[in-house]
Every structure is written in structure tokens, then in C-alpha cells.
Amino acid sequence: MIPRLFLKVAALTSMVTPMGAGAVAAERVADGVHVPAHERIVLSNGITLIIVPDPDVPLVAFNVVLRGGELGDPAGKPGVASLVAGLLEKGAGSRNAFQFADAVEGVGGSFSAGAGPEAITIRGQFLARDQPLLLELLADALLRPHFDDSELGKLRARQIELIKAAKDSDPSELIGTYGRAFLFHEHPYGRPVIGDESSLARITREDVLGYYRGQLGADRLTLVFAGDVDAALLKRSVSRLFSRWPKAAQSAPRLAAPARATHRRVLLIDSPGSVQSYFWIGNVGVDRRYRDRAALDLVNTLYGGRFTSILNSELRIKSGLSYGARSGFTRGTVAGEFAIRSFAQTENTGRAIDLALQTLSGLKRDGVSAPMLDSARAYVLGQYPLEFETAADWAVALGELELYHLGLDYIDHYGSELNRVTLGEAQRVIEQAFPGPDAMAIVLIGDAARIRAQVRAYGPITELELTAPTFTAPRTLQREGS
């Protein structure tokens, strides 16, 4: 099936998905969405347990958040946290990898672990009657993983090949990884969470065990269960199964705020024969606790967050240059990136990038109008309830509040904050949070021989082959164009 919109804005490697937009239009939706009643318990060893009863369907959704994620990767070896996460279900307790998968899928359950920049998460759903099995599997995965050497070898080799396959079949999916590496340099947000072909090949079982002992432990763990829960069973079992898990051996990694880039530069990734150029234009934005986040969401909705946005209007609706163009902020503990993403036929690469940069200049120069702001407000409010429809949605949302140390007000007050946003606040956001067009990092995947001349004017060019085994060009080989 071919959908109308290209909605894959968040790259696979982006932060845990930013809390969406919006709350509600007229009527009772006008004050937004409210967190349902739930229990929050902190165990003596530091584990946070959250239980959200919602007996609508006989399912229990879970979200396990282990603070740290890719931040805990050893220097020069991105991908360790990602492999650790993948291996948690590849043999644990009394089950080998096959037995673990049989146990989950045999009852129709799901159990999926992954790493992000700031956390490892495990998410899934089980039938309510299988809660004891779910707890047993979680405790085994976290406390008694095997980290079998042959499973590591298999996962590592497969991850390397999957990166190559992605380069063949979906280059746009990787552009955010290239973009962040180019923008953030040595800052942890620049490291590829999935690792790269070169680093993955160097990761050993000692690296995996080192990460597990150093970075995982009770003090990093939040468990959220939502749905048709047996609260007494959950509390009893979590206490029994996890109360002796020690704290992580090492201190939690700390993050410094990255500096915004001050000069425009270009990373050109050569994909010979590509008929289209995929581009990412980014700079450092704002963090998760950014004060004017409601105004930020409204302005980004107008600029590049919905179909009629300024960006999509120019690149798709008016010019027909591209199937789609979007923008977004990735907001972590510290400021992540603001990025524009789109693509255009090879011959039109320069024209499309010019247009994208012009729209950003236009936003900085002209701001937004009151009717525009009202339209964005209705849109964000109208779409918000759809993001909190199921117990699984709440499991994810409450885990994220814990990860970023946000209170319930982050959700409860969002609607009223949206309703109060003024033109002055929107203007402030445009000045502070939106980077200017003259200092953006511009990253392209395309046929370098045919687009090099088109992008030369934007700034110094660094080149990289798409088939290179890293997401950054080795410093010594950087070629500065003019």
C-alpha cells in the first residue's frame, strides 16, 4: 500500500519519541488530556514501580526504562548498549534464546528491548492471565541474562549487515544518524546508538559485561504496568524478584549541553546512481524542560509539523519538488537537534535546499500570525487525545516522564498551556529555539558527482562514501571543498 504522507520523521535512532503534540478542540477536549489514576512506589533499592489500572481489555502493557542508554557506551565503541539490550532476551534464567522466544510468542505476548540515547527500554503486552510469566521473564532478562558469546556474535554480525541493507533500500532512514554525527561531533548525541559497521566489529563480550555491571542496576530501573493489572501481584512479585538487585557499579553518565553550530557546513554522502537526494538540515535546538514547549510545538506545527506547514507547502504543495518535507525538535535531557528533512530529484537538489533555507529565513523574519497560531492550537489540541487512547500509550508516557524527571503536570497542564500561548511567546520561541539558516549543518545522501556543484555554495564540504563503515568521515580524509 502506498500512503499519502511520508510520516517517518523520527529516525530509528532518535530519542525516545518526543511527547506528541496537542490536546483538544472545542467542548470538553479544550483543557487537554489528564493522567489516569495510578500508583507510584519507590523500593528501598531505588526501583520505581508504576501501576495504571485500566481493565478495558484483558491485556497488560509494560514499559521498562533503564536510565543510561547509549550514554554509557565506552569511548570509541558506540553500539554496546544496543547489543546489551538485544541480548537481554537472547537467553536468560533457565531459558536459552529459543526457549525465551517460545515462552513469549507461545502465549501471544510481545517483548521488545532496544536502546536509545538516554535509556534502554523493554516494551510489550501480555494477556492479563500471564502476568506471573511476564514478571518471571522480566526478572530473568534483567537479573540473569546469559550474554552467551555465540548469541553476541550472531547479533553483532546481523546488526552490521542490517546497516548495509538499510543503505541499499532506505537511505533516508539513516540520514538522521549521519546528521547527528556531523552536528554533535564528540558529544554523546552524535554517536550512533545502533553502532556503526566498524565499531560493532570491535565490540567484545567484555564490553557487554562491563556495560551490564557498570550501567545497569536497581537505581536505573523504572517499571510501568498498565491495563488489566493485578496490582497486588505486581507489587508483591516486583518486591520479591527485584529487591536484591544491586545498584549499578558505576555512576550514571552525565550530559553536558552541546553548543550550537555557528557556521554552515556540508556533509555529502555519495550514493552513485541514486536518482534522488535525501537531505537533513540541522542545528542544536532546545531540551526537554524548555519552558515554552507549548509555544514551541505550535510554531513547529506551523513551520514543518503538519501537512499544510510552511515547509511542506513550499517543497510539496506549491512546487511539486518533493513527496514531503518536515521539521522537528528532538528534546532530551539536554538540547538535541532541530532538523528539517526532505528529498528531491537529483537535478533539483540545490533548488529544494534553497527553498528549505528560505522558509527558515522567512520564519525568523516574519514570524507567525494570530490566525495561524489559532489554527495550530486547534490542531495540536485536536490530535492530542489520540495519543493517549490505550493502556500501552500510558505505559510509554509515564515511563518517559520518569526518564526525564518530569511531573504529571507535563501532560495535565499541556492543554491549558496551549490555550495560553500568545504571539509574543511564539515570537520568543522563533528567536531562541529555532536556529538561523546561516549556521545549519547540511547533510545529503545522493549522487555526489551530480550534486557537488549544486551544494558548493552552502559551505565547506566533507565527503563520505555511503558504503564507508562509519557514519562520520575520518578527520584526516576530510576534503574541504570551496
| 161-220 binders of other proteins (CB under 8 A) | 161-173, 193-194
Among 256, 273, 424, 482, binds other proteins (CB under 8 A): 273
Q: Which residue's CB is nearer to other proteins, number 61 or number 286?
A: 61
Q: Which residue's CB is nearer to other proteins, number 343 or number 459?
A: 343
Rounded (5°) CA angle 463-464-465: 135
Q: Which residue's CB is nearer to other proteins, number 22 or number 459?
A: 22
By CB under 8 A, residue 35 contacts other proteins: no
Site string for other proteins, 428-467 (x = CB under 8 A): ---------------------------------------x
Choices 160-168, 205-213, 247-255, 401-409; region in contact with other proteins by CB under 8 A:
160-168
Task: List the grid coordinates of 274.
Answer: 541514486
Rounded (5°) CA angle 367-11-451: 75
Residue in 319, 263, 181 with CA at minimum distance from that of residue 437: 263
Least distance from other proteins to the Cβ atom of residue 367, Å: 19
Phi, psi of 276 (to 5 degrees): -140, 150
Tell me the three state secondary structure of residue 448. helix
By CB under 8 A, residue 310 contacts other proteins: no
Q: Say which residue the cell 532546545 belongs to.
A: 286
Task: List the grid coordinates of 435.
Answer: 536556529
C-alpha distances out from residue 273 to 39, 61, 445, 466, Å: 56, 45, 11, 12
Among 68, 78, 86, 176, binds other proteins (CB under 8 A): 86
Choices 159-167, 212-220, 256-264, 423-431; region in contact with other proteins by CB under 8 A:
159-167
Task: List the grid coordinates of 393.
Answer: 500509550
Q: Which residue's CB is nearer to other proteins, number 62 or number 338?
A: 62
User: β-strand 335-345 against 221-227: which pairing, if any?
Assistant: unpaired
Choices 204-212, 257-265, 288-296, 337-345; region in contact with other proteins by CB under 8 A:
337-345
By CB under 8 A, residue 239 contacts other proteins: no
Please report, as residue ranges, which positions from 361 to 420 form the binding site for other proteins (by CB under 8 A). 374-375, 378-379, 381-383, 385-386, 388-390, 392, 396
Q: Which residue's CB is nearer to other proteins, number 81 or number 339?
A: 81
Q: Is 295 left (phi over 0), alpha (psi -120 to 50) or beta?
A: alpha
DSSP sequence for 307-342:
TTSHHHIIIIIIT---S-EEEEEEE-SSEEEEEEEE
